[in-house]
Structures are given as C-alpha cells and as structure tokens.
Chains A and B, each alone.
Chain A
Amino acid sequence: SYELTQPPSVSMSPGQTARITCSGDALPKQYAYWYQQKPGQAPVLVIYKDIKRPSGIPERFSGSSSGTTVTLTISGVQAEDEADYYCQSADSSGTYVFGAGTKVTVL
C-alpha cells in the first residue's frame, strides 16, 4: 500500500525556520496537502496542492515540491505553531493516505 514518510519530530527556537519533509513514490504525480493539529483539536488545512495556502493561514507557512519529496516550511516559527503536522496525498485510484505526522516543538 502507498505510504508517506515524515520525520517524527522537529524542534527549533522561536524565529527560526522549520522544514518538515514528506516522501512518497506517487508525489511526483499526485498533489500533497498539509494539516496542522493542536492538542484536542481537529486538523486544520495549511497547504493544499503542494504550494497553495488557504485563506486565513499566515504567510509564514509555505509548501514546495521536488521529485518524491514535498516540504512544509514555517518561516519565523512562533510558539503558537507548536503542533503536529500531517502530510496527505492520494494514489491514482483515489485512495487517500496520511503520513505518520511530525511533532513540531518550539523551544
């Protein structure tokens, strides 16, 4: 079955840049999406179609894609960005898949 691979955790100090990667064989052909989830809350979409940002999402969140890897970048990370981040994609048959999630800690 199709899998997306994320690092378990990333930590940085406020103001630094956080980069979270997500790797999958189908990513060159399928879009990737990113969700932020804070404790006790439902996930929130922060990036769609690899690079697009929904309205209301701060500009410090950006996405990029290169080959089989997509990256979520948080530029100038803030304490409020501490959360779990999940990448998601779909295979050619329309089956959705989530990555295992990356815990972002702001030191």
Chain B
Amino acid sequence: QITLKESGPTLVKPTQTLTLTCTFSGFSLSTRGVGVGWIRQPPGKALEWLALIYWDDDKRYSPSLKSRLTITKDTSKNQVVLTMTNMVPVDTATYYCAHSPEDGGLTDYYFDLWGRGTLVTVSS
C-alpha cells in the first residue's frame, strides 16, 4: 500500500525559505520510471504543479516558479524535499506530494496517489 505524507512548517514569514518533506512508503524511488511530485492549491483556487523528481534524479520544474524551487530525494530515507525561496503571501496554499507511477519501466505523466496535504500560511 502506497502512502505519502507531507511535513513542514505551517507558518512562514515573507522572504523566508520554505522546506517541505514528503515521506512515503509502499514504493521505492529507485524503481525505474517512478517519480514523486509536488502540487499546491491556494485556498479556493485550482491545483498548480510545482516540481517532480524521477528515480534517476531527473528533475522537472514549473517554468513560472523554476527560479525559486529545488527538489531533492533521499532514497534511503524514502523522502523527497522541496524548497521554495523568497516566500510571499500569495504562496499561501495547501501543498501536496504525490506518486507518479511507472508503466513497464517507463514514466507515466500523472499522479495516481496523493498525500493529504499540508497548509502553509505566509504571513508576518
């Protein structure tokens, strides 16, 4: 059974750097084709894809946020970490991590299982 859980601060100040950790179980991020991504959702608004890291350490970022994001993995700990610099109030959102499956060793570009999300508020 695959599970994912997001953790990190619930409140950050403007200009600070946000660090979120996704701890997962039920799969290995060293399996060919597998990925873990981050998606956020401001209150009452739509989902926004942020970043994704693959089994081979290949990384993808949202073009609009690329300069502020870094995604890394620790396969031995079953964790993926997302950092976002220079936080501003509009970054207030629920942040989700999600599993991107493989299909015969090839990457599939979607998320089949999600964590519950963690609400991050940016305020002074």
Chain A interface residues (CB < 8 Å from chain B): 1, 30-31, 33, 35, 37, 42-45, 48-49, 54, 86, 88-90, 93-101
Q: In the complex, what's the smallest C-beta–C-beta distance from A90 to chain B, in angstroms?
A: 4
- Residue of B with least CB distance to A43: B114
Nearest-CB distance from A6 to chain B (Å)? Answer: 9
Cα–Cα distance between A16 and B33 once the two chains are bound (Å): 39
Interface of B is mostly: loop
- Where the two chains meet, the residues of B that have a C-beta atom closer than 8 Å to any C-beta of A are 37, 39, 46-49, 52, 60, 62-64, 96, 107-117
Q: A60–B60 Cα gap in the complex (Å)?
A: 34
Whether the pair A94, B47 counts as a contact (CB closer than 8 A) is no
A95–B48 CB distance below 8 A? no
Partner of A100, one of B46, B60, B109, B112: B46
Min CB gap A92→B, angstroms? 11
B114 — which chain A residues lie within 8 A by C-beta? 42-44
Q: Which chain A residue lies CB-closest to B112?
A: A45
Question: Does the CB pair B115–A42 fall under 8 Å?
Answer: yes
CA distance A33 to B47 in the complex (A): 13
With most chain A CB atoms within 10 A of its CB, the pick from B49, B52, B110, B112 is B110
> Which residue on chain A has the smallest CB distance to residue B59?
A94
Cα separation A33 to B39 with both chains bound (whole Å): 15
Docked complex Cα distance between A43 and B60 (Å)? 21
Top 4 A-B pairs, shortest CB-CB distance: A90-B109, A96-B49, A33-B110, A42-B114
Contacts of A100 in B (CB 8 A): 46
Inter-subunit contact A101/B46 (CB<8 Å):
yes
Contact A101 B109 (CB under 8 A): no
Judge whether A1 and B109 touch: CB under 8 Å. no
Residues of A within 8 A of B64 (CB): 1
Given contacts A1-B64, A95-B63, contact A48 B46 (CB under 8 A): no
Are A95 and B62 touching (Cβ within 8 A)?
A: yes
